[in-house]
Amino acid sequence: MPETGLPGLARKGEELIVRFWGVRGSIPVPGPGTVRSGGNTPCVEIQYVGRETLILDAGTGIRLLGLDLDRRPRERLVAVLLFSHTHWDHIQGFPFFSPARMRNNRLVILGGRRVGPHLEHVLAGQMSDAYLPFTLDDLRADVLIKEALDGEKLVVGDTISVLPRRLNHPGGVFGYRINRRGKVVVYASDVSHPQEGLDERVVELARGADLLIHDAQFTPEERRQRPDWGHSSWEEAVEVAIQAGVRRLALFHHDPMHDDDQLDEIERQAQARFAGAFLAREGMEVRI
């Protein structure tokens, strides 16, 4: 039983709570065919006792997370938002993240340094007047935007270390290994593996993790048909989980063409190969 009746608060100091606010790849797909898995694009929250909240990606799911954070009792929110990359489905919810509008909140935004425009430029670009009636500067929270380098160890708050690694995806992507006092969550969305085998960098990043969140956009057949799309099959995600010796695997970044029934079948097949596999579903909470 939780020690407190307040929703959204952790039970124990050492526990990590991972919440999936958006699990869909490429484009939001609301509708009757996706009610069980969810239609929002990627956003994952990692909550723990302490001042900071860690957020992975700002797809459309981050809007719901923002509303939920607004309801949790606190004077001031300090959130760290890690971007895997800036494809639309990972940034589009950011302007609608309501805690960024509140003066007393602090938002530290981190993304991997890549070739091309800086992260701040990309985020401001999607908030220009051609697309929205407000700009990045209109967000009243303290917003700090920084870029991380491949392999650079970052410290978040007093207790969390984050290791960013550059992985394979058109335009580049960063995966993150998040470690809090030995509990490890690895985020590897929008990653692809070479046709001849797994990308060893992904396996290394995921080594021994309690939870691996891995791209599983395609069936193996679809993966063969779309070798250059920059995504993985559920089979590759399972293979990484087995080789890296992870405890649990969240199949993530579902294809917009896959409805609930198809995703249930993918989950069933993945679990037959690796018992720790499950389908990430919008609204799901995993405690580590």
Cβ proximity to Zn ion: between 66 and 230 the closer is 230
The region of 12-20, 46-54, 85-93, 94-102 touching Zn ion under the rule CB under 5 A is: 85-93
Tell me how far, at minimum, the Cβ of 20 lies from Zn ion, in Å: 14
141/101 Cα distance (integer angstroms)? 6
| 236 lines the binding site for Zn ion (CB under 5 A) | no
What tokens appear for 76 in the block? 């001031």
10/52 Cα distance (integer angstroms)? 13
| 254 lines the binding site for Zn ion (CB under 5 A) | no
Cβ proximity to Zn ion: between 25 and 111 the closer is 25
**Beta strand segments in 25-151, E:** 43-47, 52-56, 78-83, 106-112, 142-148
| 190 lines the binding site for Zn ion (CB under 5 A) | yes
Q: Which residues contact 261 (CB under 8 A, 6 or more apart)?
A: none
Interaction mask 45-84, Zn ion, x per CB under 5 A: ----------------------------------------
Interaction mask 87-106, Zn ion, x per CB under 5 A: x-x-----------------
Burial class (CB in 10 A: 0-12, 13-18, 19+), 192: buried
The region of 24-32, 148-156, 176-184, 215-223 touching Zn ion under the rule CB under 5 A is: 24-32
18/178 Cα distance (integer angstroms)? 12
Instruction: With CB under 5 A as the rule, give the number of residues binding Zn ion.
Output: 4
Cβ proximity to Zn ion: between 52 and 190 the closer is 190
Q: Which residue is nearest to Zn ion (CB)?
A: 87
Identify the H or E element spanning 19.
strand 17-22
What tokens appear for 38 in the block? 């969810």
Residues that bind Zn ion (CB under 5 A): 25, 87, 89, 190
